[in-house]
A and B are shown apart, each in its own frame.
Chain A
């Protein structure tokens, strides 16, 4: 049974509580359990009827119906037709046309139960406090315990910075004629020559323009790839820092090598 529910609110209208289903299998399983049906012997006609009723209900509420739900509806109707048609003698012994659906449901049921176990564990874990809960606090000796930064960390950090920009269509316009990756890389190098280590965000503060920031981000990736810079993070989800790398300043990019953006 789906335990989540959504409150569909519209000003001046009825609010309706409706169980939320993760997908067509979740909905089917709910119908099977609600009607106390034997999963190995599902009355396809009845369940199809209820399934379609539910989709109709969603439609009336103007809820968006995912394509997967429609696809399952089509499969159910086809299955229903298959079962209604008389089968030739030879195929009597053949597989139950429902078996594929039954297997999918049983398999789904297993993982759903396992996910309920995980939900309980999560709940229990949230009752405990460990030092891990405070690992975001930066340490002095963090160099020993640096974690490698992956692309998700980088993209997340960059998205956060972009999010702080004033929304598109702000009052001012800037005439950015051309920004090249190499130019932005040079700016980063200059910054690091002075400081050897800077906060990731610092690379983006000089020109808070979306386009330039994107090119700067690409320059960061390029420099990291060339090991001119290292990107560090002392704890999961912690702030990112950039410092001079092993090949810092060793191999400047060729002029016009990077994609120029107009």
Chain B
């Protein structure tokens, strides 16, 4: 195996220690002599290549706007027993349906969600809020000023997505909000301040 560069080792240490996906700008702040984000990206690629060549059980992936070490899917049978205690239940169909509406239409109010789904959605919305997959991002300016919901960084990392552009077929589902539009939604699970 090639000797990892010093920078590579530092990056590896940071990602090993980080509980949540670590954004490149945080890595720059933490030191390690990286001069810019491109250099970090290159180091990640080099690390991943060396992991693949030496048959490591993990990989560095990009998720929710950051880098994260994750075990490879083929080890699921072994690691799943280890993490199952901490895993939350899978989302219900109602939950997934409501989430996809919020993901594509955000910021979106409950009346709009209910119109699109054709069913009452209070229960499912509060579950999504509790699981911090969505957050209240403001209030609509119209009648009744209903609350507006948007997805969180926790949503991206739960579904292993780098940003909202990872959602499929935007042309079929309507305009996809840009990553910039999603960023003010704050940290994982934290509702952003109302505009």
Kindly supply a per-residue 1/0 record for chain B positions 98-139, scoring 1 wherever the CB is within 8 Å of any chain A CB and 0 otherwise: 011101100000000000111110000010011010000000
Interface residue? A130 (CB, 8 A): yes
With contact pairs A22-B93, A127-B76, A129-B82 given, residues A111 and B116 touching in the complex (Cβ less than 8 Å): yes
Q: In the bound complex, how far is the Cα of B94 from the Cα of A72, in angstroms?
A: 18
Interface residue? A131 (CB, 8 A): yes
Interface residue? A82 (CB, 8 A): no
Q: Indicate if the CB atoms of B116 and A136 lie closer than 8 Å.
A: no
Q: In the bound complex, how far is the Cα of B92 from the Cα of A119, in angstroms?
A: 9
Q: Indicate if the CB atoms of A134 and B86 lie closer than 8 Å.
A: yes
Interface residue? B174 (CB, 8 A): yes
Interface set, chain B 45-101, CB cutoff 8 A to A:
68-73, 75-76, 79-80, 82-83, 86-88, 90-91, 93-94, 96-97, 99-101
Q: In the bound complex, how far is the Cα of B158 from the Cα of A110, in angstroms?
A: 21
Interface residue? B18 (CB, 8 A): yes
* Chain B residues bordering chain A, tally (CB within 8 A): 58
Chain A contact residues, majority secondary structure: helix
Q: Indicate if the CB atoms of A23 and B73 lie closer than 8 Å.
A: no
Q: Indicate if the CB atoms of B80 and A113 lie closer than 8 Å.
A: no
Name the one of A22, A111, A236 contacting B100, with C-beta atoms under 8 angstroms: A111
Q: Indicate if the CB atoms of B80 and A126 lie closer than 8 Å.
A: yes
Q: In the bound complex, how far is the Cα of B115 from the Cα of A104, in angstroms?
A: 9
Interface residue? A115 (CB, 8 A): yes
Q: Indicate if the CB atoms of A72 and B118 lie closer than 8 Å.
A: yes
Interface residue? A196 (CB, 8 A): no
Using Cβ atoms and an 8 Å threshold, which residues of chain B touch A4?
93
Using Cβ atoms and an 8 Å threshold, which residues of chain B touch A235?
19
Using Cβ atoms and an 8 Å threshold, which residues of chain B touch A110?
104, 172-174
> Can you report 17 residue pairs joining A to B where beta carbons are below 8 Å apart?
A2-B93, A24-B119, A110-B104, A110-B172, A110-B174, A111-B117, A114-B100, A114-B169, A115-B96, A118-B96, A128-B72, A129-B79, A131-B69, A132-B68, A135-B20, A136-B86, A147-B190
